[in-house]
Amino acid sequence: MLKISYPNSEVGKVLSASSSAVWNFITDATRWTQWGPSVVDVDCKERFIRQGSRGRVKLPFGIWLPFVITDYKDQSYWSWRVLGIQATGHRIEPLGQDRCMLIFEVPTIASIYLLICWIALKKIARILNHE
């Protein structure tokens, strides 16, 4: 699923996992490096993020950027600001007991980042199918 519109564009994928399993996976900061192509390290006091969680992420070329979780609705949505700039939103739509849609939102001005999000979705699907 790909949707480009203003103010946010989004890409999503149906996953063969419960929404709670996907939620636990994407909110576990210790696992972000496993699926986030643009994240090679994470420094966050909380293992599982929540509203107001702060930390920093290391990009592939070695730069650390600060982040804060700005929006958080348990089991359904979180978004963050990285270096003070609105970054990706992460939304889960349950589709049954062991299926859900995971959707990444990006500001339309940064729609090119949807390709990175699609890669992340494919990685998440592959990892969750092997756990």
Which pLDDT tens digit goes with each residue over 60-81? Answer: 999 999 999 999 999 999 999 9
pLDDT tens-digit series, residues 86-121: 999 999 999 999 999 999 999 988 889 999 999 999
Tell me how far apart the alpha carbons of residues 111 and 10 are, in angstroms, rounded to a whole number.
Answer: 8
Where would I find the beta strands (DSSP E) of the chain?
2-3, 8-15, 41-44, 54-58, 64-73, 77-82, 85-96, 99-107
pLDDT of residue 7: 81
Task: Say what the pTM is.
Answer: 0.93
pLDDT of residue 40: 97
pLDDT of residue 3: 76
pLDDT tens-digit series, residues 16-66: 999 999 999 999 999 999 999 999 999 999 999 999 999 999 999 999 999
pLDDT of residue 77: 98
Cβ neighbours of 26 (radius 10 Å)? 20
pLDDT of residue 61: 94
What are the C-alpha distances in Å from 118 to residues 52, 56, 57, 68, 114?
26, 22, 20, 23, 6
| Whether residue 6 has pLDDT greater than 90 | no
